[in-house]
Structure 1
Amino acid sequence: MISSEVWSDAFSRAGAAATAMGLSLVDPLLQDVAARDSLYWIVPMSAASSDRMGAGEIQNEETGQIILTLMIRKGKTSTPDALTYCQAMSAAFRAPAGIRPTDWPEGLYYDGQDFSPPDLSETGNWYAATLMISYRYQTQMQTA
Protein backbone atom coordinates (compact mmCIF):
# COMPACT_ATOMS: atom_id res chain seq x y z
CA MET A 1 0.00 0.00 0.00
CA ILE A 2 1.31 3.45 -0.84
CA SER A 3 1.94 5.68 2.17
CA SER A 4 0.32 9.08 2.47
CA GLU A 5 3.81 10.66 2.77
CA VAL A 6 4.86 9.34 -0.65
CA TRP A 7 1.56 10.22 -2.33
CA SER A 8 1.56 13.72 -0.80
CA ASP A 9 5.14 14.36 -1.92
CA ALA A 10 4.35 13.14 -5.44
CA PHE A 11 1.16 15.23 -5.58
CA SER A 12 3.00 18.34 -4.39
CA ARG A 13 5.88 17.83 -6.83
CA ALA A 14 3.49 17.09 -9.73
CA GLY A 15 1.32 20.08 -8.78
CA ALA A 16 4.27 22.45 -9.00
CA ALA A 17 5.24 21.02 -12.40
CA ALA A 18 1.66 21.21 -13.69
CA THR A 19 1.31 24.82 -12.54
CA ALA A 20 4.55 25.73 -14.35
CA MET A 21 3.03 24.20 -17.51
CA GLY A 22 -0.20 26.15 -17.05
CA LEU A 23 -2.17 22.93 -16.47
CA SER A 24 -4.24 21.71 -13.55
CA LEU A 25 -3.52 18.66 -11.40
CA VAL A 26 -6.53 16.74 -10.12
CA ASP A 27 -6.88 14.37 -7.19
CA PRO A 28 -9.01 11.73 -8.94
CA LEU A 29 -11.12 11.21 -5.82
CA LEU A 30 -12.04 14.92 -5.83
CA GLN A 31 -12.38 15.31 -9.60
CA ASP A 32 -15.29 17.42 -10.82
CA VAL A 33 -16.20 15.78 -14.13
CA ALA A 34 -18.06 18.87 -15.35
CA ALA A 35 -15.06 21.18 -14.84
CA ARG A 36 -12.44 19.36 -16.93
CA ASP A 37 -9.99 21.35 -19.04
CA SER A 38 -8.94 20.11 -22.47
CA LEU A 39 -5.64 18.99 -20.93
CA TYR A 40 -4.93 18.13 -17.28
CA TRP A 41 -2.96 15.76 -15.03
CA ILE A 42 -4.30 13.22 -12.53
CA VAL A 43 -2.39 11.24 -9.86
CA PRO A 44 -4.11 7.97 -8.97
CA MET A 45 -3.18 6.29 -5.68
CA SER A 46 -0.57 4.16 -7.48
CA ALA A 47 0.78 0.67 -6.85
CA ALA A 48 3.10 -0.24 -3.99
CA SER A 49 4.25 -3.00 -1.68
CA SER A 50 6.17 -2.92 1.58
CA ASP A 51 8.07 -5.27 3.82
CA ARG A 52 10.64 -5.25 6.58
CA MET A 53 14.17 -4.83 5.31
CA GLY A 54 15.26 -8.00 7.16
CA ALA A 55 13.94 -10.62 9.58
CA GLY A 56 13.18 -8.95 12.90
CA GLU A 57 14.16 -5.49 11.62
CA ILE A 58 12.11 -2.43 12.49
CA GLN A 59 13.15 -0.79 9.22
CA ASN A 60 10.52 -0.99 6.49
CA GLU A 61 10.92 -0.41 2.77
CA GLU A 62 7.98 0.52 0.58
CA THR A 63 8.51 0.21 -3.16
CA GLY A 64 6.16 1.05 -5.99
CA GLN A 65 5.30 3.39 -8.81
CA ILE A 66 3.75 6.83 -8.80
CA ILE A 67 1.35 6.95 -11.74
CA LEU A 68 0.77 10.31 -13.42
CA THR A 69 -1.71 10.52 -16.27
CA LEU A 70 -1.95 13.38 -18.73
CA MET A 71 -5.57 13.50 -19.88
CA ILE A 72 -5.78 14.86 -23.44
CA ARG A 73 -9.07 15.82 -25.06
CA LYS A 74 -9.04 14.41 -28.59
CA GLY A 75 -8.19 17.01 -31.23
CA LYS A 76 -6.97 19.68 -28.76
CA THR A 77 -3.20 19.04 -28.45
CA SER A 78 -0.42 18.01 -30.81
CA THR A 79 1.83 15.03 -30.15
CA PRO A 80 4.98 17.20 -29.69
CA ASP A 81 3.15 19.38 -27.15
CA ALA A 82 1.90 16.36 -25.19
CA LEU A 83 5.42 14.89 -25.16
CA THR A 84 6.83 18.21 -23.93
CA TYR A 85 4.36 18.18 -21.02
CA CYS A 86 5.31 14.59 -20.15
CA GLN A 87 9.03 15.40 -20.28
CA ALA A 88 8.53 18.38 -17.97
CA MET A 89 6.62 16.21 -15.49
CA SER A 90 9.37 13.59 -15.68
CA ALA A 91 11.98 16.21 -14.80
CA ALA A 92 10.09 17.10 -11.61
CA PHE A 93 11.00 13.65 -10.25
CA ARG A 94 14.65 13.60 -11.31
CA ALA A 95 17.83 15.04 -9.86
CA PRO A 96 21.38 14.90 -11.19
CA ALA A 97 23.10 11.60 -10.33
CA GLY A 98 24.26 11.51 -6.72
CA ILE A 99 22.24 14.57 -5.68
CA ARG A 100 19.15 14.20 -3.51
CA PRO A 101 17.13 17.39 -3.09
CA THR A 102 16.81 18.36 0.58
CA ASP A 103 13.06 18.93 0.40
CA TRP A 104 12.29 15.28 -0.38
CA PRO A 105 11.05 13.33 2.65
CA GLU A 106 13.86 11.49 4.44
CA GLY A 107 14.16 7.95 3.08
CA LEU A 108 12.31 8.66 -0.20
CA TYR A 109 14.12 7.95 -3.45
CA TYR A 110 12.70 8.27 -6.96
CA ASP A 111 14.23 5.79 -9.38
CA GLY A 112 13.53 4.83 -13.01
CA GLN A 113 10.61 5.94 -15.12
CA ASP A 114 8.35 4.32 -17.71
CA PHE A 115 6.02 5.95 -20.21
CA SER A 116 2.90 4.52 -21.83
CA PRO A 117 1.65 6.49 -24.84
CA PRO A 118 -2.03 7.02 -25.58
CA ASP A 119 -3.91 4.21 -27.27
CA LEU A 120 -5.12 5.98 -30.41
CA SER A 121 -7.94 3.46 -30.85
CA GLU A 122 -9.53 4.46 -27.50
CA THR A 123 -13.19 5.30 -27.76
CA GLY A 124 -14.60 8.43 -26.17
CA ASN A 125 -13.31 12.00 -26.10
CA TRP A 126 -10.06 11.57 -24.18
CA TYR A 127 -6.59 10.07 -24.59
CA ALA A 128 -4.40 9.17 -21.62
CA ALA A 129 -0.58 9.40 -21.64
CA THR A 130 0.82 7.72 -18.53
CA LEU A 131 4.13 8.38 -16.79
CA MET A 132 5.14 5.85 -14.11
CA ILE A 133 7.89 6.75 -11.65
CA SER A 134 9.43 4.01 -9.52
CA TYR A 135 10.27 4.87 -5.93
CA ARG A 136 11.64 3.46 -2.66
CA TYR A 137 10.62 4.78 0.74
CA GLN A 138 12.45 3.57 3.84
CA THR A 139 10.99 4.18 7.30
CA GLN A 140 10.79 2.60 10.73
CA MET A 141 7.83 0.35 11.37
CA GLN A 142 5.38 1.77 13.87
CA THR A 143 4.90 -0.44 16.91
CA ALA A 144 1.80 -0.54 19.07
Structure 2
Amino acid sequence: MTHPLVYQDAWKRTTNACKSLNMDLRDILTQDVDDHDRPWVLFETASSSEDRLGLGSELYQETGQIWLHLMAPRGTGALSYIQNLAVLAASFRTPTTTQGLTYLAHHADPPNSDTTGNWATFSLAVDYEFQTKLSQ
Protein backbone atom coordinates (compact mmCIF):
# COMPACT_ATOMS: atom_id res chain seq x y z
CA MET A 1 0.00 0.00 0.00
CA THR A 2 1.32 3.44 -0.88
CA HIS A 3 2.25 5.34 2.27
CA PRO A 4 0.30 8.62 2.59
CA LEU A 5 3.54 10.64 2.87
CA VAL A 6 4.70 9.25 -0.49
CA TYR A 7 1.36 10.06 -2.11
CA GLN A 8 1.34 13.61 -0.72
CA ASP A 9 4.90 14.35 -1.85
CA ALA A 10 4.36 12.96 -5.35
CA TRP A 11 0.99 14.73 -5.72
CA LYS A 12 2.53 18.07 -4.73
CA ARG A 13 5.37 17.66 -7.25
CA THR A 14 2.98 16.68 -10.02
CA THR A 15 0.60 19.52 -9.17
CA ASN A 16 3.41 22.07 -9.47
CA ALA A 17 4.59 20.61 -12.78
CA CYS A 18 1.04 20.57 -14.18
CA LYS A 19 0.54 24.20 -13.18
CA SER A 20 3.69 25.17 -15.08
CA LEU A 21 2.36 23.27 -18.12
CA ASN A 22 -1.19 24.66 -17.74
CA MET A 23 -2.62 21.14 -17.53
CA ASP A 24 -5.31 19.68 -15.31
CA LEU A 25 -4.30 16.93 -12.89
CA ARG A 26 -6.65 14.12 -11.87
CA ASP A 27 -6.21 11.14 -9.61
CA ILE A 28 -7.81 7.81 -10.39
CA LEU A 29 -10.92 8.64 -8.32
CA THR A 30 -11.38 12.25 -9.46
CA GLN A 31 -11.00 11.67 -13.17
CA ASP A 32 -14.18 12.64 -14.87
CA VAL A 33 -15.96 11.14 -17.82
CA ASP A 34 -16.58 14.49 -19.48
CA ASP A 35 -14.88 15.27 -22.74
CA HIS A 36 -11.66 17.18 -22.28
CA ASP A 37 -10.75 19.98 -24.63
CA ARG A 38 -7.04 20.07 -23.80
CA PRO A 39 -4.30 17.72 -22.53
CA TRP A 40 -4.42 16.55 -18.93
CA VAL A 41 -2.53 14.23 -16.55
CA LEU A 42 -3.85 11.18 -14.67
CA PHE A 43 -1.98 10.33 -11.42
CA GLU A 44 -1.68 6.77 -10.05
CA THR A 45 0.50 4.95 -7.54
CA ALA A 46 1.58 1.32 -7.40
CA SER A 47 3.41 -0.20 -4.46
CA SER A 48 5.41 -3.24 -5.41
CA SER A 49 6.61 -4.32 -1.98
CA GLU A 50 6.44 -3.34 1.65
CA ASP A 51 7.93 -5.03 4.66
CA ARG A 52 10.10 -4.63 7.71
CA LEU A 53 13.78 -4.22 6.96
CA GLY A 54 14.51 -7.32 9.02
CA LEU A 55 13.10 -9.61 11.67
CA GLY A 56 12.21 -7.51 14.70
CA SER A 57 13.18 -4.26 12.96
CA GLU A 58 11.22 -1.11 13.70
CA LEU A 59 11.97 0.15 10.20
CA TYR A 60 9.51 -0.30 7.37
CA GLN A 61 10.50 -0.17 3.71
CA GLU A 62 8.23 0.33 0.74
CA THR A 63 9.12 0.37 -2.95
CA GLY A 64 6.83 1.25 -5.80
CA GLN A 65 6.06 3.56 -8.68
CA ILE A 66 4.30 6.82 -9.30
CA TRP A 67 2.52 6.66 -12.67
CA LEU A 68 1.70 9.82 -14.61
CA HIS A 69 -0.38 9.41 -17.75
CA LEU A 70 -0.31 12.47 -19.99
CA MET A 71 -3.45 12.38 -22.11
CA ALA A 72 -2.94 14.08 -25.48
CA PRO A 73 -5.41 14.56 -28.32
CA ARG A 74 -4.58 12.50 -31.39
CA GLY A 75 -3.47 14.35 -34.49
CA THR A 76 -1.51 17.04 -32.64
CA GLY A 77 2.06 15.68 -32.94
CA ALA A 78 4.23 14.06 -30.30
CA LEU A 79 7.14 16.45 -29.73
CA SER A 80 5.42 18.93 -27.39
CA TYR A 81 4.07 16.06 -25.28
CA ILE A 82 7.48 14.43 -25.06
CA GLN A 83 8.77 17.81 -23.82
CA ASN A 84 5.91 18.00 -21.30
CA LEU A 85 6.74 14.48 -20.08
CA ALA A 86 10.32 15.67 -19.52
CA VAL A 87 8.99 18.50 -17.31
CA LEU A 88 6.96 16.01 -15.29
CA ALA A 89 10.02 13.75 -14.92
CA ALA A 90 12.22 16.67 -13.83
CA SER A 91 9.84 17.43 -10.97
CA PHE A 92 10.95 14.14 -9.36
CA ARG A 93 14.68 14.90 -9.67
CA THR A 94 14.80 17.60 -7.03
CA PRO A 95 15.59 16.62 -3.41
CA THR A 96 12.63 15.61 -1.29
CA THR A 97 11.81 17.07 2.10
CA THR A 98 9.96 13.89 3.11
CA GLN A 99 12.40 12.01 5.31
CA GLY A 100 13.13 8.49 4.06
CA LEU A 101 11.74 9.06 0.55
CA THR A 102 13.97 8.67 -2.50
CA TYR A 103 12.90 8.86 -6.14
CA LEU A 104 14.92 6.59 -8.39
CA ALA A 105 14.69 5.66 -12.09
CA HIS A 106 12.16 7.03 -14.55
CA HIS A 107 10.55 4.97 -17.32
CA ALA A 108 8.67 6.50 -20.25
CA ASP A 109 6.05 4.58 -22.20
CA PRO A 110 5.03 6.19 -25.50
CA PRO A 111 1.56 5.86 -27.00
CA ASN A 112 0.64 2.65 -28.73
CA SER A 113 -0.16 3.31 -32.37
CA ASP A 114 -2.66 0.43 -32.35
CA THR A 115 -4.83 2.08 -29.69
CA THR A 116 -8.00 3.68 -31.02
CA GLY A 117 -9.83 6.71 -29.70
CA ASN A 118 -9.42 10.46 -29.59
CA TRP A 119 -6.66 10.50 -26.97
CA ALA A 120 -3.14 9.09 -26.87
CA THR A 121 -1.39 8.28 -23.59
CA PHE A 122 2.22 9.18 -22.81
CA SER A 123 3.03 7.41 -19.54
CA LEU A 124 5.83 8.07 -17.08
CA ALA A 125 6.70 5.74 -14.20
CA VAL A 126 8.89 7.04 -11.38
CA ASP A 127 10.37 4.39 -9.09
CA TYR A 128 10.58 5.23 -5.40
CA GLU A 129 11.83 3.81 -2.13
CA PHE A 130 10.48 4.88 1.25
CA GLN A 131 11.71 3.96 4.71
CA THR A 132 10.17 4.96 8.02
CA LYS A 133 9.51 3.66 11.52
CA LEU A 134 6.52 1.36 11.81
CA SER A 135 4.77 3.76 14.21
CA GLN A 136 4.70 6.59 11.63
Name the TM tier (shorter chain).
Answer: over 0.9
Where in structure 1 are there 5+ consecutive unaligned residues?
Answer: none
Q: How does 1:111-130 map to 2 (within 5 A)?
A: 111-130=104-123
Whether 1:82 and 2:75 are equivalent positions in the alignment is no
SS at match of 1:19: helix
Match in the other structure for 1:2: 2
Match in the other structure for 1:68: 68
Match in the other structure for 2:45: 45
Cα separation, partners in 2 of 1:47 and 1:127, compared to 1, 3 Å? farther
Q: Is the 8 A contact 1:62 1:136 kept in 2?
A: yes
Moved over 3 A (4+): none
Q: Give identity over the alignment, percent.
A: 32
Cα separation, partners in 2 of 1:13 and 1:48, compared to 1, 3 Å? same
Q: How does 1:88-107 map to 2 (within 5 A)?
A: 88-95=87-94, 100-101=95-96, 104-107=97-100
1:94-136 deviation per Cα after TM superposition (whole angstroms, max 9, x unaligned):
03xxxx34xx211110011111100011012111111000001
Residue identity opposite 2:114 in structure 1: S
In the TM superposition, residue 48 of structure 1 has moved relative to its aligned partner by 3.0
Cα separation, partners in 2 of 1:65 and 1:45, compared to 1, 3 Å? closer
Q: Is the 8 A contact 1:117 1:129 kept in 2?
A: yes
Match in the other structure for 1:110: 103
Whether 1:22 and 2:15 are equivalent positions in the alignment is no
In the TM superposition, residue 11 of structure 1 has moved relative to its aligned partner by 1.0
Q: TM-score, normalised by structure 1?
A: 0.88
SS at match of 2:30: coil
CA–CA distance in structure 1, aligned partners of residues 13 and 105 of structure 2: 16
CA–CA distance in structure 1, aligned partners of residues 48 and 4 of structure 2: 12
CA–CA distance in structure 1, aligned partners of residues 12 and 42 of structure 2: 12
| Structure richer in strand, relative to its length | 2
SS at match of 1:138: strand
CA–CA distance in structure 2, aligned partners of residues 127 and 9 of structure 1: 27
- CA RMSD, aligned part only? 1.5
